[in-house]
């Protein structure tokens, strides 16, 4: 769900060195944790719950709902307490008529036209997130392609190409062309004689010629051959004036800009590759499908204030956020999926090591801005159908909708996806200022922005009272010290959620952590 921040050249080279350099880009991404596969061998096979055994689940995000669903199948009596007035958690979509309330009392009223929406949190499903794909299938959630890679999008860096955005295809072809030329020169000068055999040397040169589109002198130059991949200044046509005009390649210096090679190398990530999916109609279709299966079990507007346990079971104090009425829920066991920034403020009766783990894990933030435009000018004027444009500006990127192609009328594009320090800068602004910033910075790609803009919404995760952040940020040191304590079954309580995983801020993380947690909790319950 969250884009990684661009590393420096030094950081990338360090990662490549650690990975051994053989298949450099992919291994570097793996070393950075962006290409790790997930573990899913099918839904848990739980059965035989003891008569009368019950579980209270705290939070109706995907982790909480999959836990409730599978525990109910196993024979437990289940109830879910949810802070918000809707199920789904970060599985969240905003549409026209929705209201977004921020921690400081600011209210945004979404004005999107019917059928248009923004996914402020997760918005895409990688092909290898098999747990999520399984439950989408089981619950009847219709999926459609999500266009992750579109080489017709733009890359913008204020330090390259004179600050003028370039098509991703152009910079990508230039990047591999210049690298191929440099490698060919190194080979011809004997710089790799102690690394490759004479036979492999010839094969490598031939490979560089073809891969890098090099000319007969093993140079990367402006030509019709390079333009066939990077695009023409004047495309091929028919008749008397049908001859194409090649486009001018850019310099090596420009292609070495971190925004450029960082974007191009990102396309080699196993996670961020082409075959991705999204639920038809908004990502919250997944949460709604789970909620239908759990009809009558979810108590909304229930803010947990205390979690206690003893030999007899678990008691959870909570307050109805609408009426103010205080109540207590009791159960044999508890699955807690409350995000740690909130859980750390609640009295929880668990061991000191688990308390320390809850209070020690930092979270990062994110801000997404949805801009509804009067028409799909990116398609009609610039032939961009889905995908992204990337920039060094604080907005980070622009995302184009992967559905509704060629449809007349208004459409919503992602006008900003700010992470890191920029996310906190956006959060400090008013919603109107966030939208204005997105319009100003996005205009570097599309001059039509101002003329075509209709309305917008800006969701800063640190301003959402039910989470006050976006997702967990583990380091290796923190994992060594706290991870096992965080995920352990502590008496009758176990935690679940993306923070209890090695995957991070993806829906898959929530599902897999919950499946693991309830499997261990069930084993303990049977052994009690």
Tell me, yes or no, whether 211 lies in a domain: yes
Bridge partners of 146, per DSSP, are 276
Same structural domain, 252 and 172: yes
Q: Is the pLDDT of residue 524 over 90?
A: yes
522 is in which domain, residue-wise?
54-84+300-362+473-527
Same structural domain, 207 and 77: no
Bridge partners of 368, per DSSP, are 417, 459
pLDDT confidence of residue 361: 97
Q: What is the CATH number of the domain that holds 227?
A: 1.20.1440.240
Same structural domain, 249 and 321: no
Burial class (CB in 10 A: 0-12, 13-18, 19+), 233: exposed
Same structural domain, 498 and 356: yes
Q: What is the mean pLDDT of residues 55-68?
A: 98
pLDDT confidence of residue 265: 83
Per-residue pLDDT tens over the stretch 430-485: 999 999 999 999 999 999 999 999 999 999 999 999 999 999 999 999 999 999 99
Which helix (H) or strand (E) is 306 found in, with range? Answer: strand 302-310
Domains of the chain: total: 2
pLDDT confidence of residue 267: 76
Q: What angle do CA 42, 47, 53 make, to 5 degrees?
A: 130
Per-residue pLDDT tens over the stretch 191-242: 999 898 999 999 999 999 999 999 999 999 999 999 999 999 998 888 888 8
pLDDT confidence of residue 9: 43
Same structural domain, 326 and 177: no
Q: What is the CATH number of the domain that holds 73?
A: 3.50.50.60
Tell me, yes or no, whether 147 lies in a domain: no
Task: Report the predicted TM-score, pTM, of the whole model to 2 decimal places.
Answer: 0.87
Per-residue pLDDT tens over the stretch 26-42: 333 333 334 344 688 88
Quote the CA–CA distance of 267 and 262 in Å, as a whole number.
9
Contact 107, 323 (CB under 8 A): no
pLDDT confidence of residue 1: 39
- How confident is residue 79, by pLDDT bands cut at 50, 70 and 90? very high
Per-residue pLDDT tens over the stretch 341-370: 999 999 999 999 999 999 999 999 999 999
The mean pLDDT of the chain is 91
Domain endpoint, select from 227, 256, 285: 256
Per-residue pLDDT tens over the stretch 416-430: 999 999 999 999 999
Q: Is the pLDDT of residue 505 over 60?
A: yes
Domain endpoint, select from 256, 290, 324: 256
Beta-strand ranges (E) seen in 323-452 are: 326-331, 333-336, 347-348, 363-364, 366-373, 387-391, 397-400, 411-419
Q: Is the pLDDT of residue 294 over 90?
A: yes
């Amino acid at each position: 769900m969250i884009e990684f921040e661009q590393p420096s050249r030094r950081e990338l080279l360090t990662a490549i060195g650690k990975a051994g350099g053989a298949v450099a880009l992919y291994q570097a991404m793996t070393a950075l944790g962006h290409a790790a596969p997930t573990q899913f061998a099918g839904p848990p096979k739980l059965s035989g719950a003891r008569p009368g055994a019950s579980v209270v689940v705290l939070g109706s995000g995907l982790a909480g709902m999959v836990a409730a669903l599978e525990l109910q199948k196993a024979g437990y009596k289940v109830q879910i307490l949810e802070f918000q007035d809707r199920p789904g958690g970060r599985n969240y979509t905003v549409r026209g008529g929705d209201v977004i309330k921020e921690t400081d009392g600011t209210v945004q009223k979404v004005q999107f036209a019917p059928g248009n929406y923004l996914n402020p949190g997760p918005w895409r499903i990688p092909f290898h997130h098999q747990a999520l794909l399984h439950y989408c299938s089981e619950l009847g959630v219709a999926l459609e392609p999500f266009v992750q890679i579109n080489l017709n999008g733009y890359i913008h860096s204020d330090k390259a190409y004179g600050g003028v955005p370039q098509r991703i295809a152009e910079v990508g072809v230039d990047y591999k062309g210049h690298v191929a030329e440099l490698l060919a020169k190194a080979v011809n000068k004997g710089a790799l004689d102690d690394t490759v055999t004479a036979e492999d040397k010839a094969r490598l040169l031939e490979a560089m010629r073809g891969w890098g589109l090099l000319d007969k002198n093993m140079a990367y130059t402006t030509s019709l051959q390079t333009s066939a991949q990077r695009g023409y200044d004047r495309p091929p046509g028919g008749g008397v004036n049908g001859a194409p005009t090649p486009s001018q390649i850019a310099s090596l210096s420009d292609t070495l800009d971190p925004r450029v090679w960082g974007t191009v190398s990102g396309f080699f990530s196993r996670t961020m590759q082409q075959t991705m999916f999204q639920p038809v109609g908004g990502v919250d279709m997944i949460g709604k499908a789970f909620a239908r299966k759990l009809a009558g079990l979810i108590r909304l507007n229930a803010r947990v204030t205390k979690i206690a346990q003893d030999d007899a079971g678990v008691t959870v104090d909570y307050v109805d956020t609408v009426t103010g009425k205080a109540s207590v829920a009791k159960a044999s066991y508890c699955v807690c999926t409350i995000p740690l920034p909130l859980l750390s403020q609640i009295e929880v009766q668990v061991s000191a090591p688990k308390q320390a783990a809850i209070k020690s894990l930092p979270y990062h933030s994110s801000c997404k801005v949805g801009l509804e435009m009067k028409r799909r000018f990116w398609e009609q004027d610039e032939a961009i159908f889905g995908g992204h444009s990337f920039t060094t500006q604080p907005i980070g990127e622009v995302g184009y909708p992967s559905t509704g192609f060629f449809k007349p009328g208004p459409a919503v594009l992602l006008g900003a996806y700010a992470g890191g320090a920029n996310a906190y800068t956006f959060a400090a602004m008013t919603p109107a200022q966030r939208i204005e910033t997105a319009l100003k910075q996005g205009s570097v790609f599309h001059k039509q922005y101002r003329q075509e803009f209709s309305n917008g919404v800006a969701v800063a995760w640190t301003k959402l009272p039910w989470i006050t952040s976006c997702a967990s940020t583990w380091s290796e040191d923190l994992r060594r010290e706290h991870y096992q304590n965080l995920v352990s079954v502590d008496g009758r309580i176990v935690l679940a959620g993306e923070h209890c995983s090695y995957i991070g801020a993806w829906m898959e993380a929530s599902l897999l952590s919950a499946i693991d947690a309830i499997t261990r909790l069930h084993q303990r319950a049977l052994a009690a």
